[in-house]
């Protein structure tokens, strides 16, 4: 009998996702393990594998569809001897009947082999057609582009078919979209009708032609929902500030980096101040286990390891990949893991288990010159530390005014689990490990 393909749960907390792309078309033969589609969650783009073999008989959810519920049928696989006539949508359940079959339009017929341009009808602007240039089709006629490039092209109304990819095997990547925007390649036609106001916007205050509406994707919606829930509804926050002198830390960093093999040779490394901050945070959490805690209605969980989430800014939002058991790892390992995860986070290639969970968070905006700030607690963590810029300041030492490199950090605590005295004790330990890095070896 026909086998339904269900929207998978790509993480324990996933409730819905966006069916970003079909990699197989109706009539294609599929085998168990074949990648048939790409699903976008709030944080990553994941591949969907077929668990049965047969023929992809019918696609129930067209690519680009948002808010597809977990376990909703998205396609049907037919076994040998079966045809599309054997498909009974009413027997599939999960809302399959409510999903209308997509009808081809004149534009879609004309765009054979091209990816669908931005569905701009909601904003009143028709989708642009090809305007020349070279596309990067694959062997089956699909245009090859990274998920990030597709997202940028969709937001900007760029026609991918008009762009020549410079990535591996002609793949369109982020820089190609940025260059297209600068050069006007693939831009919407100048004859496009006037923009319509975005939903919920008072046109008397903001005329439709005075702004560009960037639709909230799943990541931005999730960030807004969770931070509003954390700050306004569930978590009683309070901040604690402390100044840390970095003289000894910077000297230790310089000595360690000086021992690295030359750049380009095997084993090359370059430690950052943030690597020391993460290690010092982990050691302070072990020294003050009450700060390495999570609140639940039944009990306070005191975690055995310092699993530290590192805030990474990515296109459209923020993600916190986790350095697991950070207290057991050396500076070089922490540095390598953070660089790898940050790179894959920006490419949306992290697995859910790499950014979900953890016990504590660190957010560093020092590289942007921010002196101090207070972050919102990232539930279920009990606290998050905000790191400001390292800067030279005039300070008093032994009755004399001297210049020292100082850094302000702010610990935002969930008062249900981390009291003021506990937070202060954690910051004292953190300050000790930063000002005397050798203490982390004890």
Taking residues 24-35, what's their average pLDDT? 85
Q: Which of 98, 124, 143 is the last residue of a domain?
A: 98
Residue 94 and residue 119 in one domain: no
Residue 175 and residue 317 in one domain: no
Tell me which residue range forms the domain holding 249: 219-441
Q: Which of 49, 67, 98 is the last residue of a domain?
A: 98
Q: How many domains does the chain fold into?
A: 3
Residue 269 and residue 166 in one domain: no
The residue behind tokens 């040998």 is: 80
Residue 338 and residue 391 in one domain: yes
* Residue scoring higher pLDDT (125 or 264): 264
Tokens of 415: 């008062």
Nearest to 247 by CA among 141, 363, 405, 380: 405
Residue 335 and residue 361 in one domain: yes
Q: Any residues with CB less than 8 A from the CB of 28 and at least 6 apart, and which?
A: 55, 56
The 10s digit of each residue's pLDDT in 302-325 is 999 999 999 998 887 788 999 999
* Distance of alpha carbon 109 from the chain centroid: 34
Residue 110 and residue 178 in one domain: yes
Residue 259 and residue 306 in one domain: yes
The CATH number of whichever domain residue 62 belongs to comes to: 2.40.50.100
| DSSP conformation letters of 367-378 | GGT-----PPP-
Confidence bin at 198 (pLDDT 50/70/90): low
pLDDT on residue 130: 34
Residue 116 and residue 200 in one domain: yes
52-66, 93-107, 319-333: least confident range: 93-107
Nearest to 277 by CA among 404, 156, 390, 180: 390
Active site residue 305: no
Residue 28 and residue 170 in one domain: no
Residue 157 and residue 303 in one domain: no
Q: Which of 56, 79, 98 is the last residue of a domain?
A: 98
The 10s digit of each residue's pLDDT in 232-287 is 667 888 999 999 999 999 999 999 999 999 999 999 999 999 999 999 999 999 99
Confidence bin at 102 (pLDDT 50/70/90): very low
Query: What is the spatial distance between Cα 13 and Cα 7, in angstroms, rounded to a whole number?
Result: 14
The 10s digit of each residue's pLDDT in 369-412 is 999 999 999 888 999 999 999 999 999 999 999 999 999 999 99
Question: What is the CB-side half-sphere exposure of residue 168 using CA atoms within 13 A?
Answer: 1
């Amino acid at each position: 009998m026909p086998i339904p393909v269900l929207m998978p749960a790509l993480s324990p907390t996933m409730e819905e996702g966006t069916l970003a792309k079909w990699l197989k078309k109706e009539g294609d033969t599929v085998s168990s393990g074949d990648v048939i589609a790409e699903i976008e969650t709030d944080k990553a783009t994941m591949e969907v594998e077929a668990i049965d073999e047969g023929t992809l008989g019918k696609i129930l959810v067209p690519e680009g569809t948002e808010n597809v519920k977990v376990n909703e049928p998205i396609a049907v696989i037919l076994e040998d001897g079966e045809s599309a006539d054997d498909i009974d949508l009413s027997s599939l359940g999960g809302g399959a009947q409510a999903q209308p079959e997509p009808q081809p339009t004149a534009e879609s017929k004309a765009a054979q082999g091209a990816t669908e341009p931005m569905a701009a009808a909601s904003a009143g602007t028709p989708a642009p057609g090809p305007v020349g240039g070279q596309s990067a089709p694959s062997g089956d006629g699909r245009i090859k582009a990274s998920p990030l490039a597709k997202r940028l092209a969709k937001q900007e109304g760029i026609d991918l078919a008009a762009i020549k990819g410079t990535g591996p095997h002609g793949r369109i990547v982020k820089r190609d979209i940025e260059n297209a925007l600068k050069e006007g390649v693939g831009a919407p036609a100048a004859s496009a009708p006037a923009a319509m106001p975005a939903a919920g916007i008072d046109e008397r205050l903001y005329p439709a032609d005075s702004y560009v509406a960037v639709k909230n994707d799943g990541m931005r919606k999730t960030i807004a929902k969770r931070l509003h829930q954390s700050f306004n509804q569930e978590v009683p926050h309070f901040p604690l500030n402390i100044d840390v002198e970095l003289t000894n830390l910077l000297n230790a960093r310089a000595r360690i980096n000086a021992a690295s093999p030359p750049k380009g040779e095997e084993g090359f490394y370059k430690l950052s101040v943030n690597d020391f901050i993460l290690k010092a945070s982990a050691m302070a959490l072990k020294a003050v286990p009450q700060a390495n805690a999570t609140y639940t209605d039944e009990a306070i969980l005191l975690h055995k390891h310092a699993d530290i989430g590192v805030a990474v800014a990515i296109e459209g939002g923020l993600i916190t990949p986790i350095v697991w058991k950070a207290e057991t790892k050396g500076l070089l390992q922490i540095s390598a893991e953070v660089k790898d995860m940050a790179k894959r986070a920006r490419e949306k290639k992290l697995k859910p288990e790499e950014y979900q969970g953890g016990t504590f968070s660190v957010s560093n905006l020092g590289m942007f010159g921010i002196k101090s700030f207070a972050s919102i607690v990232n539930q279920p963590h009990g606290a998050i530390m905000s790191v400001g810029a390292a800067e030279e300041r005039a300070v008093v030492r032994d009755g004399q005014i001297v210049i020292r490199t100082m850094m302000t950090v702010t610990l935002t605590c969930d008062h249900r689990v981390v009291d003021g005295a506990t937070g202060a004790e954690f910051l004292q330990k953190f300050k000790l490990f930063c000002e005397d890095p050798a203490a982390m070896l004890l």
